Amino acid sequence: MNFMRMGFFGAAVMVLISSTVRAAVYYVSPGGSDASPGTEALPWRTIGHAADAMTAGDTVYIRAGTYRERVTPRQSGADGAWITYTAYPGEAPVIDGAGVEVPEWAGLFDLAATAYIRVSGLRIVNSVSHPHNPGILADGSQHIVIKDNSITNTNDSGIGVWSSSDVTVAGNAVEKACQARWNECISVGTSDTVVVRGNIVHDSDKEGICIKDGSSNVRVYGNEVYGTRAVGFYVDAQARHTHSIEVFGNLAHDIAENGFALASEVGGLLEDISVHNNIAYANGWTGIQVTACCIEIHPMADIRIINNTFYDNGRGDWGGGVYIENPQIQSVVIRNNLVSRNLSFQIVVDPGVPMSEIAADHNLIDGFRGDPAEITGEAHIEGDPQFIDAPGADFHIARTSPAVDSASAEGAPPADYDGTPRPQGAGFDIGAFEYRAYRHTRPLAKP
């Protein structure tokens, strides 16, 4: 609709319509009937019937049980009148795609070309008809919330967000995704203004959480990825300008490859990327890698790696903390990182990478290995960081840690991994945590 041509009268009518939307509440149960009125006493049987019936402002509560159907909402909500698909309180309904035909390039719960929709509290399983079948898909969508769902066994992403804007992906659990080895467990591609927070991704064949392919204005925080057979957190320009992305307060561990990685696989510019307050430990390759994959052109500019903790990364005969491989970088900052007891190196910059483009300073180095390309940077500290319990994956630091009050204030995040304001003492602390007399109880990973 062309609002520019509506004039005052048309705009007033739209306001009146919006203000008189009457939200309805419906119910679905496996024991219901689509011929029923959809009330709590007489629920509908299928979610698809609810999707056909609901209009802006409506909510459907989905009762416990298994629904063998594909859900394809075609009605959109409106600003202030969202459409909500949610589990009945205290129940865990399952949408099971086993034996259900899902078209190629489509999701089992498919939000393509819709707006103002929330999906929460559902268990989505077995989206496996074709190689490109994610569990939940937002494609060409706006104003979408995908929250507190559990997605298991999908051929493509557990959750895919493509060509969309104003999307929140929060509090979901994704496992056994990408069984056909396409995309990533949570994929955000060619999208703008996206939040990915508080999700747990594990035990899958591909990358955990990936922001890529022309995406911009994305915040990735408070997530945990473990047990994937590729990179935990991946930011990849592919062939498009990808920019203005924050990756912070995340946990990556026990991953076959890198905990975090930045790439331009097909030559797009990766720009304005902030990686801070993250923790990567016990990963097979590195804590973070700035890669030179996968063609000759892979431009990157304004990359900031600040106040992270990288511990015990590298398995077999190679691996380490921070690995800068890309010779085409411009303006990379490696500052205030706590890099401890990684296998082959703590911080390495490959020969051919222009050191004039790297600002490395105020890092704590624990276990300098002497690799020919290994660096410490300026104003570094060497020593034991005095973790509270590294074997138990508690990387808070003791009061007597050399990291305390030793960081640079320049570019330091205003709060730490726990949300504790920085600084707490005379200066900022190195690593993901700011020391304080009592510690927050935000759990890390199980060791």
Examine the pLDDT at 282 and tell me if it is beyond 50. yes
Examine the pLDDT at 214 and tell me if it is beyond 60. yes
**Distance (Å, rounded) from C-alpha 193 to C-alpha 54?**
27
At 437, the pLDDT band (50, 70, 90 cuts) reads: confident
Interval 433-442 mean pLDDT: 73
Residue 384 inside a domain? The answer is yes
> How many domains in the chain?
1
Contact 169/146 with Cβ under 8 angstroms?
yes
**Dihedral in degrees, nearest 10, Cα atoms 243, 180, 92, 66:** 140
| Cα→Cα distances 57→77, 148, 170, Å | 6, 20, 21
Examine the pLDDT at 229 and tell me if it is beyond 70. yes
Report pLDDT digits (tens) over 85-106: 999 999 999 999 999 999 999 9
Residue 33 inside a domain? The answer is no
At 440, the pLDDT band (50, 70, 90 cuts) reads: low
Given this model, what pLDDT does residue 443 score?
Answer: 54
Interval 388-416 mean pLDDT: 97
Strands (E), 102-250: 109-110, 115-120, 123-127, 136-139, 142-147, 150-154, 159-162, 165-170, 173-175, 186-189, 192-197, 200-202, 209-212, 216-221, 224-226, 233-236, 242-248
Give 192-229 as a DSSP string: EEEEEES-EEES-SS-SEEEETT-EEEEEES-EEES-S
Question: Which are the contacts of 230, defined by CB distance < 8 A and separation ≥ 6?
Answer: 184, 205, 206, 207, 208, 255, 256, 257
Residue 143 inside a domain? The answer is yes
At 12, the pLDDT band (50, 70, 90 cuts) reads: very low
Residue 127's CATH number: 2.160.20.10
| Backbone angles phi and psi of 48, in degrees to 5 | -60, -40
Residue 280 inside a domain? The answer is yes
Residue 26 inside a domain? The answer is no
Examine the pLDDT at 295 and tell me if it is beyond 60. yes
Mean pLDDT of the chain: 94
Given this model, what pLDDT does residue 332 score?
Answer: 98
Residue 334 inside a domain? The answer is yes
Given this model, what pLDDT does residue 21 score?
Answer: 56
Interval 336-362 mean pLDDT: 98
Interval 104-120 mean pLDDT: 98
Top pLDDT among 447 and 163 is at 163
Which residue range forms the structural domain that includes residue 385? Answer: 76-397
Examine the pLDDT at 9 and tell me if it is beyond 50. no
Q: What percent of the chain has pLDDT over 90?
A: 92
Examine the pLDDT at 374 and tell me if it is beyond 80. yes
At 447, the pLDDT band (50, 70, 90 cuts) reads: very low
Residue 181 inside a domain? The answer is yes
At 438, the pLDDT band (50, 70, 90 cuts) reads: low
pTM over 0.75: yes
Nearest to 333 by CA among 384, 395, 378: 378
Q: Which residue has the tokens 């995340």?
A: 250
Given this model, what pLDDT does residue 439 score?
Answer: 58
Residue 103 inside a domain? The answer is yes
Interval 366-391 mean pLDDT: 97
